[in-house]
Structure 1
Amino acid sequence: MPQDKLDTSKRQLLLGSAGLGAAALSGALAPNASATAATYQQGNQAIVARRVRPGEPGWPSEAQWQALGESMQGKVFKVADPFAGCEQSAQACNDILKQFENPFFIQDTPGATQSSGWVDAWTSKVSQYAAEVQNAEDVSKAVKFAKQHNLRLVVKGGAHSYLGQSNAADSFLIWTKRLDKIEMHDKFVPQGSQGVKPFEAVSVAGGAIWVDVYDKVVVKGRRYVQGGGCTSVGVGGHLQTGGFGSFSKRFGMSAGGIVEVEMVLADGSIVVANEHQNQDLFWASRGAGAAFGIITRATLKLHPLPETFGFAGLRVKAKSDGAYTALVEHFLRFYRDALMNPHWGEHVGFNGENVLEIAMSIQGLSEAEAAKVWQPFIDWVSARPTEFEIASPLRLVVIPAYHWWDYEYRKKHLPKSIIEDTRPNGKAGAFWWSGSAREVSIYIAGYESGWLHERLLQEERLSALAMTLVAASRVRGFEIHFNKGLAGSPPEVARQGQQIPMNPVVEHAFGLVIIAGGELNVHEGLRGHEPNKAAARTESARITEAMNIIRAIAPDAGGYCSEMSYFSPNWQTDAWGQANYARLLKLKHQYDPDGLFMAHHYVGSEDWSHDGFVKRG
């Protein structure tokens, strides 16, 4: 993704349309907007339900909002526009925009989201009211309130949703930031189980973020839990979409490690689901998205901590197009034979400049062992100086695993690998990866993903795969994330592809292709800081074209539900597969028949408008 930022220091900065709008739906609608059972007519489509907006009949009174807040341990408040300061001065606006480069500032700001929008798709909007919940009972009260008053409900944790699912104009926001308790268990037994041997586990509240989980479990507890790769990702949302981390090739998907969840359902009930009770909800909660409820606590199995974690970086440049194709083919063969195993993860990038960019994670190997693995590949490249050059030599960083998320260690020994939260009132010891800076406050031009089946690595198919990847790179650069695919994992890990609701191809995928791009720290409606929509549309077309080239050789690639195109025509089967989606839709109708938990690409959202306010028959 491009990292260009607009130089706005000399521009006149005025706040445009980023404020709190309350646009009403067009069409002939009955006056009682709070009635969900009535049927209205809009054009040729029957509207069987619609949410109430501010100022319409049925919107809660100030007294009702206040009463909700008084009934909770947390608080209820009107949400402020985070860009209101731009009305004051250009410097004030620049200060705000600088803060938006910090994912923890975004999480601390209820009206902000990690992505600022997606061209021709969605724009980050501020909710009218928010409930800053602190426990499951608070969440239950907020959910019941939203249901009673027929409100458009959204949930914000880490706010990483590329599809804009954690925000909506004219909505009621459940903000889980304070729902962050983390508890280690030496002997955990799931509720309702009989004869189960106790095991080590960690219970994590749904609003926690992974940097805090890793600090408690890995740095201090010397155990391992599979979670997200980005430190600022929220636990609840990550788990509900399946979730991958840098070491998923060894430990599986994050959701695969869940042994029990506590959820608040659409009727406000608080339930505990595991393999022994509420099994259907337990299945749906581990990969189907947030369409079935709000996870208030998840308990995950702990693993012995490997001795080492590490990183391998290498850049190789080919001196001709033909040499680049040969390089890609040889690397794919090398990956299949030497790297498609539990020790390796992360990604390799392909671009139109004939450069192969390797940035892979390591677990369980010493630096010497890792170097030995790579030596044959380096020897092959070095033996062909007329075809290739090593643009950046192999760089190996291997450290004790308990230091991987250790803020003090990284600050001292690997300072360039992290960016610190240095705000005076910031989160102590919080950091995000330097490589993640390209994702913070991005306005998305396009985002596509697709799994590559391991059969594409068969010797007789390698050449065609290499030529396809090179052809796609000529249109738009992309990455293959090897940790986001379970081929090469231990058998018990690979079977997670059958056990949780994701596209079944993930079990046999050696990696996930991701093609994405956008513009950093621009915000639609903020004058002087508007995105370049023409450029975004051009980039979007290139991203789609490149993905179509790859899909020609991988028609079953599907897509990862949290990293797929907003405009995917077959998003249901791409994300979950036909059989899984049929089962999920049935469960959606059972547990949330009124669609309280509704957003773009949520299970059942095909019956709703994109803004989640209108259900059509």
Structure 2
Amino acid sequence: MAIQLRPLIAILLFGAALTAAAPSPKCRCGPAEPCWPPEPAWNALNASIDGNLVAVRPFASVCHDPTYDLDACQIAKRMSNESLWLSANPGAVQSANWASLPQRNETCYIDTHKSLPCGQGRISLYSAVVRKTEQIQAAVRFAKKHNVRLAIKNTGHCFLGRSVAPDSLQILTHHLKEIAFVDDFRPTGSLNKSCGSAVTIGAGVQLKELYTALGKKNLTAVIGASHTVGAAGGYIQGGGHSPLGTWKGMAADNALEFEVVTAKGDLVTANSFQNPDLFFALRGGGGGSWGVVTRVTIRTFPDPPTAIQSLTISSVNSTAFWAFIEAFHVGLPSINDAGGSGYYFITPSLNVSTLSIALFFAGHQNGTIMASVLDPLINLANETFSPSSVVALRFQAPGFRHVIDQLLPGDSDTTGNIVRIGSRLVSHKFLSSRPGAAKLTSALQNISTHFPSAAMTGHVVSGGQVARNSNLGVAVNPAWRRTVTHLVSGVSWPATAAVEEQREKERGVTEVMVPMLAGLEPDMGAYLNEADAYERDFQKSFWGGNYGRLREIKRRWDPESVFIVRAGVGSEEWDAEGRCRLW
């Protein structure tokens, strides 16, 4: 059955004409150009993927004229912050700003007035809503043949907008939900070498789904803490930090095998025995740059007993609050050395500032070690703040799955907001002395002054086994092996903000916020999945000394740059949207 192309093309022609780039072999084809695939070509692609090609509009288009639909709009508004619903929708991403394209003045926000035009923005024109590997292969070959920009959407959980691209063909992997356990995994080509207990997951499996399946078998795996994230997508390919990282390393460290559709449309296996260069790149070289991963096999472990400590303090005294933040960072290396991992949230305010900490000690049968490193901090909190301002809870969980039930309550995350973030990795060495903690605290305080609404999140997800895996031979930024905390902050703006206000906020992240953190340790870097989308010198920041090798692997496996994403390997040769080569 032919898909209906003409109404979509009519909507897009004007916006496409504004791109100003004339047809050129240096550029991807756009819908206003003669090289754009004609309707019969799109219909042939649709037939080749069993009718799973859909024409895409931003999900909020039903709330805007001339396509306003009251019933559909009410549903879209009700679901606009539900991460699982957004994951499955080809016309949605988890951070609403990445659906927009300010350069064309194309926005389509759910809450703006219905009379405002709904622009296509960065949302793909078509989506191959794939359900099997052969459909992915057909879509990749079509994009390569017709020089059409590709975008891979797993869940749309990407703070750098890598799962969208203007005038593109999307491959949506959401429906690839395979989960298969094996007690004795033997990689292809390994001559029966055993890697032990493992699970193979399809590209569309999301973290909560995997945790649920693992829990039924009293197992766990090194994966993250979000409903929204797809375990086999950019998460693991970007390195994948985890609350279990201190115990067992990063997600990429625990990947055993990938199946991936390459730029030629071939399905290949990548592991330590077959295509080891591609295996290296897929373990930390960044999602969307190497191919479309169809499945990945990762190690599993018996679900460990876990000791847990939470601490929340609130203060109206800014001086006391920031002094406690410094004291916490002074003690953080010792907490991490004792096996502690987890998260903390700093929310400064002119009224009441708060610090919330949740720490986990996986594999600990009791809280003795945890108490030895945390009791001094809790005592300091009780001495500094009033009793009503300090809440400390400590308990023992029989398995990590009980922690996940607390971290991931319900069935969905609250997303769909507008946010731009910046981040930095902070080393164990830097925080092991009071001057380091004092300098970091000063930087955080300065950020709170320049960006009054910006909260800060610390991820204590390294140290321990992450550090011990420094010679494992993966593409993960070597700075992770020295890291004690991964700090993230961000800014947001209302959907009604003028373009210049948006750009001012974005410039603030790149030109003010990130330099404040980066100046502390110029030789560290940032986590490529949670960083400034326009990180300066991203090659060094995201991959350190691994970038040269990754660039060579990219040339070998994808010489025509079929797969290009923002701030990904090889993207320096392309414009910001991956449409035209710069040289």
TM-score category by the smaller chain?
0.7 to 0.9
Contact 1:451 1:506 in 2 (8 A): yes
1:283 pairs, out of 280, 284, 288, with 280
1:292 aligns with 2:290: yes
Counterpart secondary structure, 2:136? helix
1:515 aligns with 2:508: no
Contact 1:229 1:244 in 2 (8 A): no
Q: What CA distance in whole angstroms lies between the structure 1 residues aligned with 2:19 and 2:195?
A: 58
1:62 pairs, out of 15, 39, 63, with 39
Q: What CA distance in whole angstroms lies between the structure 2 residues aligned with 1:82 and 1:460?
A: 50
**Matched residue, 1:10:** none
**Matched residue, 2:27:** 50
Q: What CA distance in whole angstroms lies between the structure 2 residues aligned with 1:381 and 1:611?
A: 48
Q: Which runs of 5+ in 1 are unaligned?
A: 1-18, 34-39, 41-47, 421-430, 523-529
**Matched residue, 2:381:** 381
Output aligned runs, 1:131-280, within 5 Å: 131-194=128-191, 196-217=193-214, 219-235=215-231, 236-280=233-277
1:107 pairs, out of 87, 90, 104, with 87
Query: Cα deviations across residues 58-88 of structure 1 (Å, max 9, x unaligned)?
Result: 3333332232233335722222442232133
**TM-score, structure 1 as length reference:** 0.80
Q: What CA distance in whole angstroms lies between the structure 2 residues aligned with 1:175 and 1:200?
A: 29
Greater shift, 167-176 or 471-480, is seen at 471-480
Answer 1 or 2: which has greater strand percent. Answer: 1
Q: What CA distance in whole angstroms lies between the structure 2 residues aligned with 1:318 and 1:84?
A: 44
Q: In 2 relative to 1, CA 403–257 (structure 1 residues): closer, same or farther, beyond 3 Å?
A: closer
Contact 1:309 1:404 in 2 (8 A): no
Q: In 2 relative to 1, CA 91–403 (structure 1 residues): closer, same or farther, beyond 3 Å?
A: same
**Matched residue, 1:23:** 16
Greater shift, 583-592 or 361-370, is seen at 361-370
**Matched residue, 1:43:** none
Contact 1:262 1:297 in 2 (8 A): yes
In the TM superposition, residue 360 of structure 1 has moved relative to its aligned partner by 1.7
Greater shift, 471-480 or 272-281, is seen at 471-480
1:78 partner letter: A
**Matched residue, 1:611:** 577
Counterpart secondary structure, 1:233? coil
Counterpart secondary structure, 1:66? helix
1:590 partner letter: R
Q: In 2 relative to 1, CA 198–501 (structure 1 residues): closer, same or farther, beyond 3 Å?
A: closer
1:334 pairs, out of 323, 331, 335, with 331
Q: In 2 relative to 1, CA 405–131 (structure 1 residues): closer, same or farther, beyond 3 Å?
A: farther
Q: In 2 relative to 1, CA 356–75 (structure 1 residues): closer, same or farther, beyond 3 Å?
A: same
Q: In 2 relative to 1, CA 222–26 (structure 1 residues): closer, same or farther, beyond 3 Å?
A: closer
Q: In 2 relative to 1, CA 269–468 (structure 1 residues): closer, same or farther, beyond 3 Å?
A: same
Q: What CA distance in whole angstroms lies between the structure 2 residues aligned with 1:326 and 1:266?
A: 53
1:584 partner letter: L
In the TM superposition, residue 563 of structure 1 has moved relative to its aligned partner by 1.4
Query: Cα deviations across residues 466-514 of structure 1 (Å, max 9, x unaligned)?
Result: 4444444433444353334x32x13x75325762223211100101111
Contact 2:79 2:85 in 1 (8 A): yes
Counterpart secondary structure, 2:234? helix
Q: What CA distance in whole angstroms lies between the structure 2 residues aligned with 1:164 and 1:91?
A: 29
**TM-score, structure 2 as length reference:** 0.85
Contact 2:174 2:205 in 1 (8 A): yes
Q: What CA distance in whole angstroms lies between the structure 2 residues aligned with 1:213 and 1:403?
A: 11
1:97 aligns with 2:64: no
Output aligned runs, 1:394-413, within 5 Å: 394-396=392-394, 398-401=396-399, 403-404=401-402
In the TM superposition, residue 588 of structure 1 has moved relative to its aligned partner by 1.3
Contact 2:253 2:472 in 1 (8 A): no
Q: Which runs of 5+ in 2 are unaligned?
A: 1-10, 108-120
Greater shift, 589-598 or 110-119, is seen at 110-119
**Matched residue, 1:556:** 523
Q: What CA distance in whole angstroms lies between the structure 1 residues aligned with 2:563 and 2:91?
A: 19
Percent identity (aligned): 26
1:456 aligns with 2:403: no
2:221 partner letter: V
For CA contacts below 8 A with separation 6 or more, give which structure has more relative contact order.
1
**Matched residue, 1:83:** 60
Counterpart secondary structure, 1:564? coil
Counterpart secondary structure, 1:244? coil
In the TM superposition, residue 28 of structure 1 has moved relative to its aligned partner by 7.4
**Matched residue, 2:533:** 566
